[in-house]
Structures are given as C-alpha cells and as structure tokens.
Amino acid sequence: MAINFIPTIGQKDGSAVLTDLTKVLRDGSVYPQEADIIIYTGWPQVKDYDGRTHSSDLTAFGTDYGIKLVKISLSSNFSEVRRDAQSILQAAATTDALLSKSLKLKRRRKLIFDVVPIIYAPNLDGGHFKDEEVEFASNEAELIRLLKRTDESLTTEQRDEVQAIIEGAKALGQITEVDDDETLQPIARAYRNLEAIIYNFDASQRSVALTAIKGPQRIRGLAGTGKTVILAMKAALAHIENPNAKILITYYTRSLRDIIERLITRFHRHFAEVDPNWENVHVRHGWGRANVPGVYRDACIRDGIAFKSFGDVKHMRDPFGTVCSELIKNGPPSAYYDVILVDEGQDFPDSFYQMCFFLAKGTRDEKQIIWAYDELQNIFDVKVREPEQLFGKDDDGVPRISLTRSLPLGTDTNDFVLQRAYRNQRDILVLAHSIGFGVYGQPVQMLENAKHWEDVGYDVVSGDFTTGSLNIVERPMVNSPSALATPKDVRLIDIRGATDMSNEVELASREIRQFIEGGIQPHEILVISLDDKSARGYFSALSTSMLEFGVPCNNIINDPYSEPPFRIDGKITLSTVFRAKGNEAAVVIILGADAAVLQTRTGRNKIFVAFTRTKGWLRVFGVENRTFTALCSEVRIALSKSPRIEFNMPDMTNLSTIQRGLEDKHARIVEAKRRVERMKSELGLTDDEIADLLEED
C-alpha cells in the first residue's frame, strides 16, 4: 500500500488526537493493501469572502475514495462544534470549486467524486448534532468508517489532476497564457506541451513547498529544479495561514523581483482568490538602493542607521559583505520578520545571513529562515558553505544555526536536495555541465566524488573517481523529465560562427524571426551577451534589426539603477549573464560566445548559467576565433556523448573542487531515495510493489 504523508505548513502543534489519528492511518491497517492514499495535515487552507482562513486538520485523498476533509473539534460545547463544522464546510466548498474548474474531473457539469466535510468531535454527544451537509463522527471507529467510504474510481490522469490542484501546481499554468487553437504552428505547439509538463512540477517538489518544519531549512538543487517556485509557494501559504505575519522573500539578481511577485500572486489567488497584502509580504533585493527597497536598506531605516550605497563602498573587496557586517557590529538589527526566505543563497555573503538571523523572530532553533542554494551556479565561490559558517556563532560560542540541532523529532530532514531538473532539456543540461566543468577541453573545476554526481541527478556508470581514472556518468530521463518534441527541421541546439559582429547580429536576427513566425511570443525569447564589454553594441544593433521586423526589445541593462521587469509582454528580453540569473525563456540566443574565457571558472560558469536559462531551444553565436573554435569542438563532443559525460578525473589539487556539503544523516537519506527511484525505473516497479518488498521479512 502506498500512503504518502505530507505534514503541511498549516499543521497546528500539540494535537495528540491528530497525532494518534495520523499514526493509525499510516500503519497500513485502515485501507486495503492496493490503495493509493495521500494524507495531508493542516491542508488545504482557503479563505472565505470575509478574508477568514479555513483549513482541514486532516485530509485523505485516494484514487477510489474521493476527498475527505476532517476538522477535529475537542470542545464539548455544541455551538463551538457547530462553528468548526461550518469552517470545514467552507474549506470543502472552496476545494470543490477549485476542482470544478477542471473539465477532466467533471461529468454532466458535476464533479465525478465527492468532497466530503467531516467534523470529528469525540467530546460531544453525536445525538444532538444534525447537519445534512457535514458528516459527523464522535469516535475514532466512526471516523475511520467515513474515511474508508469508497467513491468513483479515478484514472491516473484524473488522480494527478486532483493532486496538482489541491497542492497548488495548477496555479503555475496561469503564468503563460498559450492559445489552444488547433492551427498553432508546430514550434508553438511543442512549447505549449512542454510547459504543461514543467508547470505541473512533481510531487516531491510540491511536498517540499507544503511541508511544515518549525525552524531553519535549506533547499538545494541544480538550476531549473524549482527552488524559486517552492519559495514563492511557501511565502504565499505562510501569508494565507497568518495574514498579519511579516514575510520576507529576498533575492540577489535584481531582475527576479517581477517573477517572484507573479508567482506569489498566482499561488495566493489559487487558494485565497484575492491578491496578497504586499504590506506584509515583502519581496526585496538583498541590498536595495536610495530609491529601491532592500533588506539591508530597510533594516537601516527601521533602526535609524545611515544607509550605505554601493558607491560608498565600491572600493572594498566585498562591498555588500562589508555593509552587512558593519550593520551587525553597530548593534544587531531589530527582529522584524516572522518568516524569511532567501533565493539565490549561493551568491550572498556570510554577513547577509547573519543579518537575516537577527531580523528573524523567534528563538535560535525556531527561527523560520529558509534558504535556497543553487548547486554549481555560483560565479564567485565553489565551496558549499555550511550553516555554521553562514550564520556564525552566538555569544556563547555555539553556532547560531545548525540543521542537525534544529531538526524536529520525527522529521526526516530539513536539508532538501532536489534532483529533478524540469527547466532544461536533458541534452542541454548535460552540455552545460560538460562545458561548465571543461571536461572536453581544459578542466577548471570538478565535483568531489561519485556521490556528489548522484546528488545532482546523475547515475555513475563506471569509474572510481581517483586521479587519472576514466569516469562515465549518465543523466537518467527520470531526473530530466521535461521532453520537448521539437519539429524535425528545428534543432534543439545550434552553434554557429560569424565573420564579424554585424554578421553575428544578422544570424541571430534571422533565427529570432523564424521562432516568432513559428508561434513563439517575443517575450518568450531571451538574448544573452557573454561579452560584457560589447553588450550595449550587440543590443543596440539587434534592437534596430528587430524593430524593422516590427518587434520591440526590452533591454534591461539600459537602466542599471533600477529593477526593471525582466519580461514584458510582446518584447524580446536583452540581458547580460548576471541579470539573467534566476530567469528563463523558451528560446535563449547567446551572442559574443567568442569572448568566453575557457581557462577560468568564471568564464565557464558564465556559459553554464547562460545555457541553463532555456526551457526549450538554444542558439549560440560568436565571431570565429581560437576561443570560439575550441568552444564549438567541446559542444560537438558533448552532444555526441550525451546523455553521458566521460572524463578523466583531474588532479584535484590543481583546480577547484565543488564540495558536496551534505551531513552524514542527510546524505544517507538522499542516497536511499535515489536508489529507490532508480530501482523503480530500471525494474518497472510501482510504489506499491516497492512498499511490499520493504515489508517482506
């Protein structure tokens, strides 16, 4: 039997009745062995028209059982139980309305199964409770009977649809509106189908977003594994749970604000049907400017301290780290936020984390600080900095934050590793890693061992990863499940040389026009210049060419002193690598690839970041020179070996080692999950069959 248990962000502490009930449902004795059940605690959470929040203490959903929402009322007072019954009825009605928006789940204009509200009141005499709309249970046996009541059987597609709606994934489908006309061009149709896969992100990612942990959490994964989406969902759910709480979500790349706000809005509307209150949900750049809010700037203003801009400290070795350190030394900033979520955590200095520690309310191990760390994407540092380093030590010499120390009893982990990359096509991600490490040219960096390759979603085919050994790793489809059915005459990846800059812009313009004529919207195209010095020249020439075609461009480097939206409908986005980080597009066009410095980590990491911005197609252009010829050669070799990467392990004393950074317990959990997923894939086993194997003596 497969029972998936998700203790969500809305779960309330201290209910022994809920704890005991959850144990009973999870021990395998309630439902038949073949049943497929999901148990949520504290979910769903919804709002009524008056803005009041209603939630289910326990929700059970099964392929053959419909959806049962349970409110536990321990009162012996009839009117109080009646109030709880009306609350669970409201939660059920809103859930029913959400599900009814999907035609896949309806027959004759009605849902094909029931959303059943249940009031469980063990301290009330059931003989006095009469309500035809709410089921009543006064003891555990009656409740179990109601939960086991069968309903219309669902297909796998219908089951997945219900889960995606309940967990909020369907909200993402509203971000990009695509015409459903049957006359869509093949390119546009291929991309529309791809987005349907990407936006219905998998259950393990949604579980991370929903799961409640009282205390700090770290979320790690490659580009495109959904970290930003997860943080935005956590922010929206925390706001629904407590509209008066102060919630901060912060980021490093200035152009990320727009997409984060849109994600939070989508999730909040999905469950609460209204926009968030931005007075209490702050989407802030880490630093800020004189006219732009930021975490550091806001903290200075609240505490009456003079704010320092980049211009004030640009001569320093670490400008942002310096201003954060000074703020802490001058007297730690006052606690202000109930929840702090940090995106692009790999780019922030240690002192920024220490500032966030003081800004977060609560005791040391209960501070709700959640940071997402992008594996392999930090352009400045290869070392995975552990929490003890990031947050520093308290006055008593003890680390302020320790994931091991703060892990609640009964919780598997608070250090989540996301292995499935949904943004990038498998061949593009394998190519990006190959070029980023330099395995087919001049290696400049490397993962430290086989386990680290597995952490980021590869299977080790052969090799012992000792110096000089031949090693082969392969990226399985299960960890790169987004497959773009590109038309046969449209290459997924193409790299072409030009005679000069003018010819390069001409080639790029021609490619962009073909994609637009194929149905791709201008705002779904991103142009990145790898040549920072020539970026303005590239973008000026390209903008002129595109205007002749009738398509304007959104050149986000035109105003370096503000936070312009990264994507504007109807406009092609023009960006440098640094501004593009954290963003994505259907098509990525790279200019100035001949300027990449292949002998340095910074040069290769810029290529890696640029390549991994695309959800679909990749086009690379550069003026033909020695560097561009070498890059073309590496690309051809990588594509010929994809989805494998083959390399001789370099001498790690001569180059940068990207550290794994997993504590032993968490590493064992990650390894166990990876092996189970691989066993399911190789042997074609279901979750039920895996569970049966584990239960055998």
- As a whole number of angstroms, the distance between CA 325 and CA 8 comes to 35
Tokens of 227: 């970290």
Q: Report domain 426-658's class.
A: alpha beta
- As a whole number of angstroms, the distance between CA 695 and CA 61 comes to 23
Instruction: Tell me the residue ranges of DSSP E strands in 108-213.
Output: 110-111, 115-120, 135-137
| This prediction's pTM | 0.75
Tokens of 472: 């082969």
Taking CA atoms, 70 is separated from 57, 85, 97, 315, in Å, by 6, 9, 18, 60
- How many CA atoms are closer than 13 Å to the CA of 556, on its beta-carbon side? 29
In the chain, the amino acid numbered 100 is S
- As a whole number of angstroms, the distance between CA 491 and CA 676 comes to 35
Q: Where are the alpha helices (DSSP H) in 330-409?
A: 350-359, 387-391, 403-406
- As a whole number of angstroms, the distance between CA 253 and CA 318 comes to 17
Asked if 531 and 595 count as a contact pair (C-beta separation under 8 A), the reply is yes
Residue 67's SS3 state is strand
- As a whole number of angstroms, the distance between CA 601 and CA 655 comes to 9
User: Chain-wide mean pLDDT for the chain?
Assistant: 86
**Closest listed residue to residue 224, CA positions, set 493, 613, 661, 565:** 613
Per-residue confidence (pLDDT) for residue 87, from 0 to 100: 93
Tokens of 397: 């010499």
Instruction: Give the CATH number of domain 198-418.
Output: 3.40.50.300
How would DSSP label each residue in 206-249? HHHHHB--SS-EEEEE-TTSSHHHHHHHHHHHHHHH-TTS-EEE
pLDDT digit string (tens) for 652-671? 887 765 545 444 445 555 55
Taking CA atoms, 217 is separated from 356, 401, 409, 415, 565, in Å, by 14, 10, 15, 6, 29
Per-residue confidence (pLDDT) for residue 174, from 0 to 100: 44
**Closest listed residue to residue 617, CA positions, set 462, 492, 473, 445:** 492
pLDDT digit string (tens) for 447-497? 888 888 887 889 999 999 999 999 999 999 988 888 899 999 999 999 999
- As a whole number of angstroms, the distance between CA 594 and CA 148 comes to 64
Per-residue confidence (pLDDT) for residue 259, from 0 to 100: 87
Cis ω before 332 (30° cut-off from 0): no
Per-residue confidence (pLDDT) for residue 176, from 0 to 100: 46
- As a whole number of angstroms, the distance between CA 652 and CA 636 comes to 26
Where in the chain are all domains bearing CATH 3.40.50.300?
198-418, 426-658
**Token pair 């349970």 is at which residue?**
70
Beta-bridge partners for 575: 528
Query: H or E stretch including 61?
Result: strand 58-62
Instruction: Name residues of the chain where pLDDT drops below 70.
Output: 1-2, 9-14, 126-128, 173-183, 198-203, 375-384, 410, 560-562, 656-697
Tokens of 262: 């849109």
Tokens of 534: 């020539």
Beta-bridge partners for 6: 40
> For residue 624, what are the contacts with CB-CB under 8 A and spacing of at least 6?
497, 498, 499, 594
Per-residue confidence (pLDDT) for residue 287, from 0 to 100: 95
- As a whole number of angstroms, the distance between CA 548 and CA 544 comes to 6
> For residue 675, what are the contacts with CB-CB under 8 A and spacing of at least 6?
none
Residue 99's SS3 state is helix
pLDDT digit string (tens) for 85-101? 999 999 999 999 989 98
- As a whole number of angstroms, the distance between CA 606 and CA 535 comes to 14
